[in-house]
Amino acid sequence: MESKVLHVLEDRVLALGPKPDAASPYRNFKLTRDADGIAWLLFDREGSSANRLSAEVMEEFEKILGELESRRPAGLVVRSAKKSGFIAGADVNEFRGAADPRAVETAISRAHAVIDHLEALRVPSVAVIHGFCLGGGLEVALACQSRIAIEGARFGFPEVMLGLHPGLGGTARFTRLINPLQAMTLMLTGRTIDARRAKALGLIDAIAQERHVKNAVKDAVFGRLKRARPGLLNTILNSGAARGFLASRMRREAAKTAPAEHYPAPYGLIDLWEKHGGDRAAMLAAEKSSFAHLMVTPTAQNLIRVFFLRDEMKKLAGSGDKVAHVHVIGAGAMGGDIAAWCANQGMRVTLADMKAEPIAGAIGRAAELFRKIIRKPTAVRDALDRLVPDLPGEGVRNADLIIEAVPEKLELKQKVYAGLEPRMKPGAILATNTSSIPLQDLRTTLQRPERLLGLHFFNPVSRLQLVEVVSHDGNDEALLKRAHAFIGAIDRLPLPVKSSPGFLVNRALTPYMLEAMVMLDEKIDQRLIDAAAEKFGMPMGPIELADQVGLDICLDVADMLRSKFGDVLPPAPAWLRDKVTKGELGRKTGKGFYSWKDGKADKPPLSETGPRVTDEMIDRLILPMSNVCVACLREGIVDNADVVDGAMIFATGYAPFRGGPLNYARTRGSDNVVSALRTLTQKFGDRFTPDAGWETFKV
């Protein structure tokens, strides 16, 4: 049979081999044989845009391998029929709710046996990889004798992001194939690499253009392709003495960002390699047990929950008319970075300010960002071309969306609206990036208040995924729908919130930061306050966070929220106002609570003999966030507890392994949380009073 084209990938042809018989007995695969006697096995999981390794898929895979053994083709090509890539990894749905490590180990052993069977086939096997090749997908590829990548392919083991490590033999095969130090680093960080880097490391044997895939496959099957081989250095680094030394260093590095008590997976992986890296069979066996015990930890189950929260929040974007031109007013830290991010996502952006200097600074920051996140120099150039300096603000006339990002002053924002509203085209959206001012206050001077909505980004824009989409009772629903779709189009997660002081995130975060100020008033060392939050699992403490955000912004938000909510919040101390008056605003001025250099806070270590973090300190900082989140649910500011948790994680970095402030309350027990809040109220004041929403909060 002549080989034919099976699948078209957008604007290019994938030479996947001959067309399968329409009566194929397999649901998730297509198996054919070409004129050279080579079998082409195409992963094509039924009912999904991406290939994932479910129990059903693995069972069918095992049957096919048995058939191939009996028919003995000249070679086997494993490939994907999906546009999105090779294999995205395991079906994470099957991990949810796992509680018995023995059951997990039994299931993972069955999957292990399939991958082992693939590796043991007595015919040459070749993985041909386009798009993403992640987790279990990379483990399938590692079990093949040869690996050929198409330009643009990406490789990685992201399991650590789910509180796990590779579980289908990847730990043993990866550390044997390439430099184990490089392999461990990739598994410990979850980073992905491109095809060229994979080739340099020896992970793949060749990079081929699509039109040359068939010839490359023939070379691999018939022994003409030079395969990557582990070198002497790999043997040395996998020796017992080297593993012991390197494992100690890896633990020290892991401890800087992932404490063992919160994130056991990196340490489980390091232990696995240190103990068994010299014995492949022992490491393969030990991997199953280690993986199973990690799977049932609260950390893994909460991180898996966060994985699905992200997917659920992506769906909130929905669909709507495309925004092609964005006009940003205010080229400061937030406005400039919002403009840069939109340009990076393919939109035309005009950036306006009252002076040229802020615009120039924003363009410079954008160029630096683009060089970091865009690989091709021509693409960096194109992104910069889309970001247009616009000192006179003429971009307003043609923009589909105008984002106002001027300082948090009601009168200033209203003055800006008065100048731009008459120039806006019909159907354009007016969005404010206000972090706290209610839209009901901002809209009072507008001719068409239905066009005003909030798009509240978080700093740094390029890293924090959440955007609060703020509505008021007079909004045009079609414009709100377009705004949600816009957030999805720029690869961000929309959070629908009703306009209220501080919305959700800042309202929940402010008591956390103000309580830290109160603790400073009590002469508690600022480093100890930060250490208390970090011990709970926050990415940084509230003092350092205040410096990051800017003390002036923190003070403005705190004053506004206290004016609305009164004694629910403590007053900002007078000395904080003095620091702002003196220009000690934090990172952006080089000095706040800490001194800052090269974007990092100078934090001398705490004395080993001084005061230590207490549970009460942690509760004072953390429980008010849960309390406010319950209040926002009760008031209807947000309408979904899971989305609240996702918002706090994706906007503030709230300890992901705890699953969010409401999930933490459930895990701890809402009665316990309410009791702790009452104890704090008796000792420290009414700001800790449990919200009435706890009475109906579902555990």
Task: Assess whether 10 carries a catalytic annotation.
Answer: no
Distances (CA, A) of 187 to 167, 623, 647: 12, 34, 27
Phi, psi of 250 (to 5 degrees): -65, -40
Instruction: Say which amino acid occupies 338.
Output: I
Contact yes or no for 61/113 (Cβ under 8 A)? no
Question: How far is the C-alpha of 259 from the C-alpha of 299, rounded, in Å?
Answer: 12
Structure tokens at 155: 């490789």
DSSP 228: P
User: What's the chain's Rg over C-alpha atoms?
Assistant: 28
Task: Assess whether 261 carries a catalytic annotation.
Answer: no
Angle at 512 between CA 506 and CA 513, to 5 degrees: 85
Half-sphere exposure of 127 (CA within 13 A, CB side): 29
Question: How far is the C-alpha of 654 from the C-alpha of 306, rounded, in Å?
Answer: 11
DSSP 571: P
Question: How far is the C-alpha of 600 from the C-alpha of 594, rounded, in Å?
Answer: 9
- β-sheet bridge partners, residue 127: 78, 147
Distances (CA, A) of 607 to 127, 168, 603, 610, 618: 55, 45, 12, 5, 19
DSSP 585-615: -BGGGTBSSSBEETTEE--PPPPTTS----H
127 burial via Cβ count (<10 Å: 0-12, 13-18, 19+): buried
Out of 46, 62, 151, 159, pick the active-site residue: 159
Out of 139, 404, 515, 584, pick the active-site residue: 139
Angle at 368 between CA 310 and CA 363, to 5 degrees: 100
Place of tokens 């923190």: 554
Neighbours of 249 (CB within 10 A): 11
Distances (CA, A) of 163 to 133, 239, 250: 19, 27, 17
Pairs from 182-185 (Cβ < 8 Å, separation ≥ 24): 184/246, 184/250, 184/269, 184/270, 184/273
Query: Given CA atoms 479, 480, 482, 487 in this order, what sign does their dihedral have?
Result: positive
Q: Are strands 452-456 and 429-432 parallel, antiparallel or unpaired?
A: parallel
Q: Are strands 75-80 and 125-129 parallel, antiparallel or unpaired?
A: parallel
Under 8 Å CB-to-CB from 320, ≥6 apart: which residues?
478, 481, 482, 483, 484, 485, 486
Nearest to 584 by CA among 560, 555, 557: 555
* Helical spans, DSSP H, in 12-100: 55-71
Judged by DSSP in three states, 158 sits in: helix
- How does 358-381 read in b/e, with b if 16+ C-beta sit within 10 Å? bbeebbebbbebbeeebeeeeebe
Residues designated catalytic = 139, 159
